[in-house]
Amino acid sequence: MLARTAFNLYWLARYLQRCELTARMLSIQVETLVDKPIAEILFGWERLYRSLERDIPQWQTQDSNEDELPSSDSLTLCDDLTFSTVNPDSAWACFVRVRENARQVRYCITEEVWSSINLTYLEYRDKTILDVWESSPQFFYRDFARDIQSIEGVAEATMYRDDGWFFYQLGGIIEQAQQLCSMLLSQHELLLSHRRLSTSTWVSLLRCYYAKETYEHVYGMTIDPRSAFNLLVFDSRLPCSLNALLKKLQATISDLGEAPNLVALQQIRSAMFSLATQVSHISSGFKASLESLQSAQNIFTQIHEDIFNAWIGYTVEEAPVN
C-alpha cells in the first residue's frame, strides 16, 4: 500500500476516535448540567479540558455565585469543544479531517465507509451550537457519537484486512490509548483537590468508556475507585482498557510484519515491551501509578513517531526494492 495512503488511514482513525470520545464525553457532561452539583459539573469540564491538554476558556463562574452556573458558560465550552474552528480538537474540526482523509483515500476504503462518513458530514455540517442548545444537547451528542460509532462499525464489517486496515487499526489504538492515559491522569490529579467527588466522577468516567455496566457486573453496584481504575487499566476483556489496547497494538504490529525501516520497527517492539512493564507497575501505589501512566503515555507518543519512521517516512536508501 502507498505509504501516504496508509498514513491517511492512520489519521482517519485517530480523528474518528478523537471525535467520538469528545462527543461521548460531552454527552455525559451535558447530562450533569441538568441535576448535578456545580462542583461536579466544574470537575467534569476541567477533566475534559485537561485530558485534551487544552486550557479552559475564560468563563464567568469564578466571579459569580458558586451555587449558580450560568448556562452561557456551558454553552461556550460546548461550542469550543464541538464546533469551534479555532480549536483544532473540537469534535467537528476532527470530523472534517476525518472526511478530508477519507476523501484522499476513497479508492482504498469501501464505498460503505465513505458513504457513512459523507452522509454524517452532510447531516451535521450546517448545525451550530445554538441549534444544539435549543433542543436537547445530550441527545445531539449521543446521536453524533452513535453516528461515528456506526462508521467504525461499517469499517470493521467491510474493510479488507490489508495494510490499510492495519494502519487504520493502529491509528485508533494509539489515539484511544493516549486519550485513556490522559483522562486517567486528569482524573487522578483533579481528585487530589476534590476528594469528596470521587465516586460520582468515577461513574462518569466509566460511562465515557462504556464500562459502567461492565463494572456493575464484575464488581457490584458500589463504585470503588481502585476497582474502577483496575477495570480501565488492566482488564483486557474491556475493549478500551489500557491492557486490551496494548494487546491489540502488539497483534497489529505483528500482523504488519516487517517494515522498510528496521531500526524504527525494533524501537516499536522495544517500546511495546517497555509499555507492558509500565502497565504492570501502574497498580503499585498511587504515586507510582501516576508516574507509570505518564510514562505509558510518553511511550505511546514515541510509538506514534516510530510508526511513521518505520513505514511511512523511511529514507529511500534504506528501503527494500520490490
Partner 1 sequence: MFDSDGRPHVHTRRFYEVLERADTTVLDNIQTRVSRSFLDQGISFTLYDDKEMSERMIPIDCIPRIIPSWEWNELDIGLTQRLKALNAFLDDVYHEGNILKDQVIPIDLVRGCPAYKVEMRGINIPNRTWVSICGTDIVRTNDGFLVLEDNLRVPSGVSYMIANRNAVKAHFPRAYRNHRVHEVSQYGEFLHRTLLEMAPEGVTNPVIAVLTPGVFNSAFYEHMFLADELGADLVEGQDLVIKDGYVYARTTRGLQKIDVIYRRVDDEFLDPLVFRQDSMLGVPGLLHAFKLGRVSVVNAPGVGVADDKSIYTYVPEMIRYYLGQEPKLQNVETYLCRRARDLEYTLDNLSKLVVKPVGESGGFGLTIGPDASPAELQECETNLRENPRNYISQPTLEFSKSPCLIDSKPEPRHVDLRPFILHGRETRLVPGAFCRVALKEGSRVVNSSQGGGGKDLWVLRE
Binding site for partner 1 (CB under 8 A): 1-6, 100, 103-104, 106-107, 114-115, 118-119, 122, 163, 167, 256, 258-260, 311-312, 314, 316, 319-322
Instruction: Pick between residue 52 and residue 259 the one whose CB is nearest to partner 1.
Output: 259
CB of 309 to partner 1, least distance (A): 13
With b meaning 16 or more CB within 10 Å and e meaning fewer, what string describes 36-66? beeebbbbbbbbbbbbbeeeebebebeeeee
Give DSSP secondary structure letters for 234-258: H-TTSTTSHHHHHHHHHHHHHHH--
CB of 260 to partner 1, least distance (A): 4
Instruction: Pick between residue 45 and residue 166 the one whose CB is nearest to partner 1.
Output: 166
Q: CA torsion, points 113, 114, 117, 120, in degrees to nearest 10? A: -110
> Distance between CA atoms of 109 and 113, rounded to whole angstroms?
6
Q: CA torsion, points 27, 15, 304, 157, in degrees to nearest 10? A: 90
DSSP 22: H
Instruction: Pick between residue 1 and residue 203 the one whose CB is nearest to partner 1.
Output: 1
CB of 4 to partner 1, least distance (A): 6
CB of 242 to partner 1, least distance (A): 27
**Maximum Cα interatomic distance, the chain, rounded to a whole number of Å:** 69
Instruction: Pick between residue 95 and residue 167 the one whose CB is nearest to partner 1.
Output: 167
SS3 224: coil
CB of 264 to partner 1, least distance (A): 13
- Residue whose entry in the numeric block shows the C-alpha cell 451550537: 129
Instruction: Pick between residue 198 and residue 267 the one whose CB is nearest to partner 1.
Output: 267
Instruction: Pick between residue 97 and residue 212 the one whose CB is nearest to partner 1.
Output: 97
> Distance between CA atoms of 237 and 295, rounded to whole angstroms?
23
CB of 3 to partner 1, least distance (A): 5
Give the angle subtended at the CA of 213 by the CAs of 208 and 217, to the nearest 5°: 140
CB of 163 to partner 1, least distance (A): 5
Instruction: Pick between residue 167 and residue 215 the one whose CB is nearest to partner 1.
Output: 167
Helix (H) or strand (E) holding 279: helix 262-281
Q: Which of 159, 149, 163, 176 is nearest to 249 (CA)?
A: 176
